[in-house]
């Protein structure tokens, strides 16, 4: 088997687990190529010849996975997620094993399933995302958490949320597949996969292969008003608590245009950016092919 491993050296704790994975995976006759990148490099250049490999393994966090899947969108190249970032939410959503021998077996024997992606469009710049993307409160959290992720891990996000307990309140205008909506709030989040830490779903359902994006407006004046909904979602996983919340407004669509006054900062898959609203988000149906477990196929094919 020909395997291309793209290793983001700037993601996660850098414990070298990817090299143990390669040792466990490799058999006589295999060709395993390792390319190391960091956040300053072009992932597209490192993936220019990906079509000559049977499978691509991406080692990094959710942002790294999004970069790779977007670069390989609609090519049919199978991608396996090797979780080595801070949160690894994509791996959790697709029910990946964490043990290295199981990951090595999955890379060789795992089945493939197509999933949707999301795409940010800023006019002159486009960015793909796998999990979630948005502007406002969540972007402030990602920005503040960046410097603490290596030391605190997922706790860095909780710390950042308390640090930004009173985020900017903006006038928010959405155009969801041609339908206009206006409100006030502290942010907008679009979801493909919707489960975050502790298996809590931030969306009404986890539907990453339905050809739609779920959009949530954080229609609050501060972060504290979100706490009842978040706590309720940890107890009731059906989504009813979120749907009934006055602090959250949900929409579904294929293309969503977002404008805010004042402009709000933007994040995608845990990556803070210097970009600002307005922007357009759209779904890319069945854009990426992931190597997954049978349990994952059963979950998302139901």
SS3 5: strand
Q: How do residues 279-302 score in pLDDT, each as one tens digit? A: 999 999 999 999 999 999 999 986
Give 76-117 pLDDT, tens digit per residue. 999 999 998 878 999 999 999 999 999 999 999 999 999 999
Strands 187-191 and 78-83: unpaired
Query: Residue 41 has what pLDDT?
Result: 76
What's the CA dihedral at 216, 275, 267, 158 to 10 degrees? -100
Distance in angstroms (rounded) separating the CA atoms of residues 20 and 15: 10
Q: In the chain, what are the domains? A: 2-116+286-301 (3.40.50.10330), 120-285 (2.60.200.40)
Calculate the alpha carbon distances from 280 to 17, 30, 173, 185 in Å: 37, 43, 12, 18
């Amino acid at each position: 088997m020909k395997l291309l491993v793209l290793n983001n050296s700037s993601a996660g704790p850098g414990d070298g687990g990817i090299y143990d994975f390669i040792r466990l995976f490799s058999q006589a006759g295999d060709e395993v190529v390792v390319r190391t990148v960091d956040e300053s490099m072009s992932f597209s250049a490192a993936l220019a010849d990906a079509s000559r490999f049977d499978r691509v393994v991406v080692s990094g966090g959710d942002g790294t996975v999004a970069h790779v899947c977007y670069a390989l969108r609609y090519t049919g190249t199978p991608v396996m997620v090797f979780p080595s970032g801070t949160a690894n939410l994509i791996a959790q959503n697709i029910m990946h094993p964490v043990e290295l021998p199981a990951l090595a077996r999955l890379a060789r024997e795992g089945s493939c399933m197509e999933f949707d992606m999301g795409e940010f469009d800023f006019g002159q710049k486009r960015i793909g995302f796998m999990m979630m993307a948005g502007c406002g409160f969540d972007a402030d959290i990602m920005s503040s958490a960046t410097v603490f992720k290596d030391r605190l891990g997922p706790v860095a996000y909780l710390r950042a949320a308390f640090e930004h307990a009173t985020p900017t309140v903006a006038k928010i205008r959405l155009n969801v597949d041609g339908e206009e909506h206006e409100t006030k709030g502290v942010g907008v989040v679009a979801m493909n996969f919707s489960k975050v830490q502790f298996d809590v779903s931030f969306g009404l359902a986890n539907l990453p292969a339905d050809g739609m994006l779920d959009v949530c407006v954080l229609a609050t004046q501060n972060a504290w008003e979100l706490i009842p909904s978040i706590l309720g979602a940890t107890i009731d996983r059906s989504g009813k608590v979120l749907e009934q919340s006055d602090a959250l407004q949900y929409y579904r669509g294929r293309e969503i245009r977002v404008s805010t006054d004042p402009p709000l900062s933007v994040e995608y898959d845990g990556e803070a950016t210097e970009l600002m609203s307005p922007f357009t988000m759209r779904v890319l149906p069945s854009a990426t092919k992931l190597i997954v477990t049978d349990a994952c196929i059963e979950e998302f094919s139901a």
